[in-house]
Structure 1
Amino acid sequence: MESKAYYHVGKIVNTHGIRGEVKVVPITDFADERFKQGASLMIEKGDQMIPVTVEQARPHKGMLLLKLAEYDNINDVETFRNCFLSVAEDDQQPLEDGAYYYHQIIGLQVETTDGRSLGKIKEIMAPGANDVWVVERPNQKDLLLPVIKDVIKKVDLDEQKVIVELMEGLE
């Protein structure tokens, strides 16, 4: 049997209440779509993939509270703490031109327009109006790059790199 590729869309960080809700940190640009009622997800627990269905989702302190249709008790969901929620590659949202999935961006090398290597993208944050790419730099603090046209000049997935123009104050 051919194994499918899965991509993380959230991480279960805790339980909530006694009725089997879980607190989830979303790691997707499509949280409304991914976690809507009836959405099918997989819980990655060790080497197991456990299919679940979202019964209800609501925002809570910068996270989401999910009620999974298959579980009605805190005892049933406690073992999912620190597990990832994933979707199959086939279930990814279609993207507009010039848009990328998080998993395509994380791990890319970052260079300036004059060819200077800055490091590798290790994380994506979504604090507000635009995403921020966190670049891990050797022997320096992480660099926070706002994902705006003035900064991100080119994303080259074939070459596995991003070309940026650093605005004053970014470094």
Structure 2
Amino acid sequence: MTKEDCFYLGKIVSKYSFKGELLIKLDTDEPESYENLESVLVDFRRQLIPFFIESSQLHKSNLLRVKFEDIEEEADADELINFEAFLPLSQLPPLNENQFYYHEIIGFKAIDARHGDLGEITGVNDQSPQALFQLKHPSGKEILIPVNDEFIQKIDKANATFYFQTPTGLIDLYLD
């Protein structure tokens, strides 16, 4: 399995106890969805390695306390700190019609109420304080639109199209 077949679950940030327990900082709005996992894939030295979970429970808001099978000592747990954890895309919880995962909207057409065809969604930059849709306009220019419910009029998943109503002047910043 490759990273392209997976989604980022979180990062192993610290040990919890001297018995080999670890804390994974989850990258999700719904940490409770991941409380009863059987296993995770850890990006260990550039390879996804399955680690089976003996026990897990939520610890504070977005930390998952896990006890992996065969990790019995602090030294073993130390080796896993700062590595990223992934799950197969098939384990993503289902979403309702108005929700989406960033990876599934790449390639969607973008239509704005004022400007019409904005081109194609090429990605979502979620590394900044405000997540941004990245679009490639037919002119070749890049357009960035904040991921904000107020700007999204409709999502037509069947036709792979996003309908936006962007604030006056936003698109003009990129096209003028």
Q: TM-score range by the shorter chain?
A: 0.5 to 0.7
1:1-171 counterparts in 2 under 5 A?
A: 3=1, 5-34=5-34, 36-45=35-44, 46-53=46-53, 55-60=55-60, 62-70=61-69, 71-105=71-105, 112-113=112-113, 114=115, 115-116=117-118, 120-123=123-126, 133-135=131-133, 144-146=146-148, 148=149, 150-155=150-155, 162-167=162-167
- Deviation string 1:62-82 (CA, Å, 9 cap, x unpaired) is 530422232233321222233
RMSD of aligned C-alpha atoms? 4.1
Question: Do the aligned partners of 2:25 and 2:62 also contact (CA within 8 Å) in 1?
Answer: yes
Change (3 A) 1:90 1:65: closer
User: What SS class does the counterpart of residue 32 from structure 1 fall into?
Assistant: helix
Whichever of the two has the greater Rg, that structure is 2
Provide the residue aligned with 2:138 in structure 1.
none
| Separation (CA, whole Å) in 1 of partners of 2:112 and 2:30 | 29
Change (3 A) 1:122 1:156: farther
| Separation (CA, whole Å) in 2 of partners of 1:6 and 1:119 | 19
Count of equivalent residues: 160
The one-letter code sitting in structure 1 at the alignment partner of 2:38 is A
Provide the residue aligned with 2:139 in structure 1.
none
Q: Which has the higher helix share?
A: 2
| Separation (CA, whole Å) in 2 of partners of 1:105 and 1:20 | 39
| Separation (CA, whole Å) in 1 of partners of 2:153 and 2:29 | 21
TM-score where L is the length of structure 2: 0.62
Question: Do the aligned partners of 1:43 and 1:84 also contact (CA within 8 Å) in 2?
Answer: yes
Gaps of 5+ in 1: none
Change (3 A) 1:43 1:26: same
Question: Do the aligned partners of 2:41 and 2:87 also contact (CA within 8 Å) in 1?
Answer: yes
Identity %: 17
